Chain A
Amino acid sequence: MTDKSHRTAGSRGTFRAISGRALQYICIAVALFWTVAPIYWMISTSLKSELEATRLEPTLIPESPTFGNYVRLFQGDLPFVSFFINSVITCFLAAIVSVVIAVPAAYALSRRNFRTADQTGYLVLVVRMFPMIVLLAPLYLILLNTGLLDTMFGLILGYTTFGLPFAVWMLKGFIDAVPVEIEEAARVDGYRQWEILLRIIVPLIYPGLVTTGIFVLMEAWNNLIYPLTFITSIEKQSLPAALVLTFTGQFKTDWGGMMAASAITTLPLMIAFFAVQRSMVRGLTAGSVTGT
């Protein structure tokens, strides 16, 4: 309810306060337009007929709104629903696998209870930075030789290349923020190390786990190169890759259909994102305030 900037300005004069407030609202309005306009355009275009969507004089509001583009997505020749499900499954599993494997490592790294902790920590950071695209060809061969090419499992492994080091790095930040003293009581009670991790640390950093998981999920969902390379049959393709592959076909670019598909591709990420936004906000600060 209270507005600090208003109050500080208030002591200098009502006029400045009002004009300051007006300026603030104008800036917010500009920012809002900037973020919303492209999304509006995506949805608006997705509701236009094919001819209207490609017109040289674009219409701001669809003249005769139609859900035809969406219907075609789900009734068309291509298994759009499968793309969607493929992406959901692989990205969720990649996030879960990354976080589960990363938690003990992050804990050990945070508590530095082994001699090579610093070196290991740097190693993880380095790996996190390695350009994905250069890993592509050797990874392809690994997957091929293990029979994992063109499987969801192979794709999940691929996502793990960036998900796991990222999760370790991020979770270490969260665990760093948990005071060591909290563990002491448990230690006195005779808890083993893994029990401390599971019963004390994990509940405490729960928001951090979710935040990290969502980050990995989003990076996996955004990833284009891995599914393009590791998934060879279109039925198993991820949603973003399928978007690239199927809407730039040999005949024409169908912007209406493309925007409808884009909206559908965006939707789950929006939902996942808003569902956890609260814990994410807390997690972000917890993870970043203590740094490395």
Chain B
Amino acid sequence: MPAHSKQASSRRAGGKAPFLHWMVLPTLLVLLAIIGYPVVSTVYLSFFEYNLLDFTPPEYLGLDNFAQMASDRIFWISLKNTLYYTGGTVLVSMLIGTAVALLLENLKGPVWTAVRALVVSPWAVPFVVVAFLFRFMYMQNGGIVNDILLDLGVIGNPVSWLNRADISLGAIIVANIWATTPFFFLLVSSALSGIPDAVLESARVDRAGLWSTIFHIKLPFLRNPLVVGSLLMVISNFNDFAKVWVMTQGGPGYATTTLVVYVYRMAFERFEIGYASALGLIWLLLLLLVSVFYIRLLWNRQND
């Protein structure tokens, strides 16, 4: 940070830097209008008992909503599910995406360009479509997944992928990985192409082995893109509603209920806006924690 402020002040010779800059005003004004008010009202409502169905004024509860949350079994389940969902998706997609990018790195020519395009294509499939498609493929009877696995003899009986508490979250994560992997593939491919030839050349001269080239030469170049990319995907998956909602609506039981599904049900099925706001607030704090962690990672890197 100090380095940057020095830069900035050196550019503005003389005069003190202004408090705000007019160039950020349009953004700040728009954000104030469309997010400022909703956020304030969310924080405010999180201290109230407020159900849209009974037309009584909100009742001040203090911290009761948060106390209730601590003993709310479903809140903890959905928190755990959200972490699994986000963590599982981001980690595995990152691994597969990186591996495939490395596999395809040096293959050139029209055929391989086409292969790359195909590998990337799931990223252009809208979430809602991913959800319907996998719901259709996962059907216990008549689903193609069971049909193929039965034919191959991998399973003896049709599996109810989305309706067994022990595997349904995993099944949704697999669908999500399918949709997320291309992002990492693209990210890593472009980062790989950005590695200076000289670096690779010297590795070759040193007769570095395949694995040692990957781990010692290439991975350091991939670190920052992967940090930023995974932050993007963590946020996106924390907020992901369409896939779970369309595939299981949080079931069976609460096995796939993520925070976003829980808040949605609380706010728009039971209309408990106060409690839903409290949940949202905790969620915001959680995401902040994650982002602080990520920013640290990046700062460390930049200050090296």
Contact = CB atoms under 8 A, between A and B. Distances in A.
B11 A180 contact: yes
Interface string B18-29: 111101101110
A41 B1 contact: no
Interface stretch (A62-70, A75-83, A118-126): A118-126
Contact of A266 (B124, B200, B259): B124
Contacts of A20: 210
Interface residues of A, number: 108
Interface in A172-187: 173, 180
A134 B277 contact: yes
Contacts of B26: 101, 104-105
Of A118, A158, A273, which is in contact with the most chain B CB atoms at under 10 Å from its CB?
A273
Interface in A33-58: 34-36, 38-39, 41-42, 45, 54-58
Given A36-B118, A125-B291, A133-B263, A101 B23 contact: no
B241 A225 contact: yes
Interface of B: 1, 4-5, 7-8, 11-12, 17-21, 23-24, 26-28, 30-31, 33-35, 37-39, 41-42, 96, 99-100, 103-104, 106-108, 115, 117-129, 132-134, 136-137, 141-144, 147, 178, 181-182, 186-187, 189-191, 193-194, 200, 204, 207-210, 213, 224-225, 227-229, 235-236, 238-239, 241-242, 245-246, 259-260, 263-264, 267-268, 273, 276-277, 279-281, 283-284, 287-288, 291, 295, 298-299, 301-302
A112 interface: yes
Interface in A221-270: 221-222, 224-225, 239-240, 243-244, 247, 255, 258-259, 262, 265-266, 269-270
Interface of B is mostly: helix
A274 B117 contact: yes
Contact of B204 (A4, A32, A128, A194): A4
B194 A131 contact: no
A274 to B, nearest CB: 7
Nearest to B271: A137
A244 B129 CA distance: 9
Nearest to B128: A240
Contacts of B118: 32, 35-36
Contacts of B41: 138
A31 B104 CA distance: 11
A8 B227 contact: no
A99 B103 CA distance: 35
Nearest to B235: A129
A114 B17 contact: yes
Contacts of B141: 56
Contacts of B121: 35-36, 39, 270
A120 B190 CA distance: 30
B280 A134 contact: yes
A292 B204 contact: no
A244 B122 contact: no
Contacts of B104: 28
Interface in A72-116: 101-102, 104-105, 107-109, 111-116
5 contacts: A38-B122, A38-B178, A108-B24, A285-B191, A291-B227
A222 B103 contact: no
A3 interface: yes
A221 B8 CA distance: 38
A277 B120 contact: yes
A8 to B, nearest CB: 5
Nearest to B123: A273
A164 B30 contact: yes
Interface of A: 1-5, 7-9, 11, 20, 24, 27-28, 31-32, 34-36, 38-39, 41-42, 45, 54-58, 101-102, 104-105, 107-109, 111-118, 120, 123-139, 142, 157-158, 160-161, 164-165, 168, 173, 180, 193-194, 197, 218-219, 221-222, 224-225, 239-240, 243-244, 247, 255, 258-259, 262, 265-266, 269-270, 272-274, 277, 280-282, 284-285, 287-292
Contacts of B142: 54-58
A292 B236 CA distance: 17
Nearest to A271: B124
Contact of B225 (A27, A112, A221, A288): A288
Contact of B242 (A120, A161, A240, A290): A240
Nearest to A193: B23
Of B96, B104, B128, B287, which is in contact with the most chain A CB atoms at under 10 Å from its CB?
B128
A70 B264 CA distance: 33
B19 A160 contact: no
A214 to B, nearest CB: 10
A104 B24 contact: yes
Contact of B133 (A56, A102, A116, A259): A259
A116 B20 contact: yes
Of B96, B190, B280, B288, which is in contact with the most chain A CB atoms at under 10 Å from its CB?
B190
Contacts of A101: 26-27, 30
Contacts of A41: 133, 136-137, 144
A114 B210 contact: no
A9 B126 contact: no
A126 B294 CA distance: 13
Contacts of B128: 222, 224, 240, 243-244, 265
B188 to A, nearest CB: 10
